[in-house]
Structures are given as C-alpha cells and as structure tokens.
Amino acid sequence: MKPAPPVSKSRAIGSFCSAGQDELRRQGESEVEQLQSLRGMVDLLPAATNRWQWLEQTAREHFRRSCIREIRTPLLEATELFARGIGEAIAIRYAMEGAKVVVSARTVDDGDHILPGSMNSVVQRINDAGGEAAAIRCDMALAEDRIALIAETEKLFGGVDILVNNAAVTYFIPIADFPDKREKLMFEVQVHGPVHLAQLAMENMRQKKNGWILNISSHAALHPEVDAAGSGGTVYGMCKAALERFSTGLASEVNDHNIRVNAISPGLVATPGVVHHGLVNDTNKDRVVPVENMAEACLRLVHDHGGPLSGRITYADVMLEEFSLAPAELI
C-alpha cells in the first residue's frame, strides 16, 4: 500500500451549500424559496424504516380510496456538506498535504444547522493542527455569491489551483409531484453552480497551465432497472448524471491547458446527514465504508505524481484498489 504524495503549496477550494442540507436556506430577496430547519421532529432511526414505509403505503391506499390525491407534508433532504462528513474529510486530507484550503458552505457556526458541524469548526480543526484554512460563507444557488467566493479566495491565497464541487440540495419526490421551483433549485446548485465555479476558477488555471477540478458525484447517476422500486430520486440522479457528463466534456476541452477534471462517487459513507435521515439500514450496513477512503481517493485525483488523471468517472473503492492507496488517519 502506498501513501499519496504531497499536494504542496496548492490553493484548494471546496464549494458547498446548505439548504436544510448542503443546501439552501434562502437569504434576502432571493428568487429561490426560503427553506427552514424543521423543529420538534423525531428522528426516524434505521430500525423503524420498514414500519414507516408500511405506514406510508397503507396511508396512500386509504387516501386513494377516499379520492384524496394531494397532501402537502414537510420534506426532508439528505445532505452532503463540506462542513461535515465527506467535504470535511476532503478539506482536512488536502490540508494535511500542505494545501491552503478555503471551506465554503452556508453553515458558519455549530448550532446553525440541525446537524453537527460547521465551516468554522473545520477551519479551526485544520489550523489547530498547523495547517492553513479559511472559511467563506456562500449560497451556491446565487451567482453573485459564487463570484464573491472565487474573488475572496484569490485575495486570501491567490488563484485557485484545486476546485472541489460537492454542493447538493436534494428532494426525494416522484416526478409527477415534483415542484418546478425545487427542480430548478437542484439544478442550480448541482449543475449550473459547478459549471460557473469552474469557469471562474479556470481563469487562473489556464494562465498557469495547471489545475484540477473534482466533481463529487453519486451512484444515483447510474440508470435504474425498469422494474426497480421508485424512491423519488430521479431528479437527483439527473443532476449527478449531468455533472458527470460535464466532467468528461470539460476534461477534453481543457486537456491542452494541463487542467485535469474528474468526477468521483463515494459509495455508502455514514456521514451525519446519511445517518440522520436513516439511509443506513440493516440491508446495507455491511457496505458502509470509512470517510477516509473517499478523502484518500480524492487526494489522488488532484496531483500528477504517478501520472496525470483526467476525464474519469470513478468511485472511491476503485481508486483505492487501482493505486494501492492506504487511507491516512485524519488529523
């Protein structure tokens, strides 16, 4: 097993948002609806998932017989934040190799979100260990925030050498019932946002003829079997599939500028958001992998030691096996 070589003196920026998730509570006069954390709710633990699904199915049948076709209930989003879970691990792993890291999210301080973790706690963890990191709050659904994010990063550390796009707002709703505004929000954060940030960051990369863009994808991008039970994840899968196609297309466009672009999926990682929403259960708990695996795979995709990698749609476990990577213990 070989440890990964250092990412020396790089400026790495990770983009995230948080709308109930990684995702978005609107501020001010935004065109996107304001999303509030739901208070006073009881967590649905994995052991109760089957009973809850039975209750939902029974309720649907009773409503159908009563000709009740539409009931609006609160929607909870599964999330992946830079301020916690996968994004936090990537930021820390890059900092361990000497990268100057900018952490971007909407959750600034602990307690700002229903889940634990925040930008400031990640930055403090890195700085306390002797690394160099800064936090810049950004609503990834707003173009002006994305522009400010890159501008402020350049003021702090110079141009961006490594861009990690990990922001995602997610609603699991069947297509027949999917609100137009929420579909647009998901595409803004998970597709348009990464494209815009890449455009902004590439100005410096093209001048230097060097840089890396890493897009965090998901197995949801894979096409489901026609007889697979629907879970309302079609729009989320559409966003991730678009992100993967963007990754390979951009990789071919900027190859001559020595800019590497890849997309990677983590597998099942028990992040706070995943656990909170009961996405780990008895049927899949054996497939849970440490977050360090994803962090190590993401490190290999942002350096050229051992040969450049670009245009890949890959997975954390594949990267670990292919390059005999030994995940490092995070500081």
Q: Which residues are catalytic, by number? A: 236
Contact 107, 18 (CB under 8 A): yes
Those residues whose C-beta lies under 8 Å from the C-beta of residue 123, and which sit 6 or more positions away, are 103, 133, 134, 135
Pick the closest to residue 21 from 168, 241, 121, 191 (CA basis).
Answer: 168
HEC string of the chain? CECCCCCCCCEEEEECCECCCECECCCCCCCCCCCCCCCCCCCCCHHHHHHHHHHHHHHHHHHHHCCCCCCCCCCCCCCCCCCCCHHHHHHHHHHHCCCEEEEEECCCCCCCCCCCCCHHHHHHHHHHCCCEEEEEECCCCCHHHHHHHHHHHHHHHCCCCEEEECCECCCCCCHHHCCHHHHHHHHHHHHHHHHHHHHHHHHHHHHHCCEEEEEECCHHHCCCCCCCCCCCCHHHHHHHHHHHHHHHHHHHHCHHHCEEEEEEECCCECCHHHHHCCCCCCCCHHHCECHHHHHHHHHHCCCCCCCCCCCCEEEHHHHHHHCCECCCCCC
Pairwise CA distance, residues 254 & 270, whole Å: 35
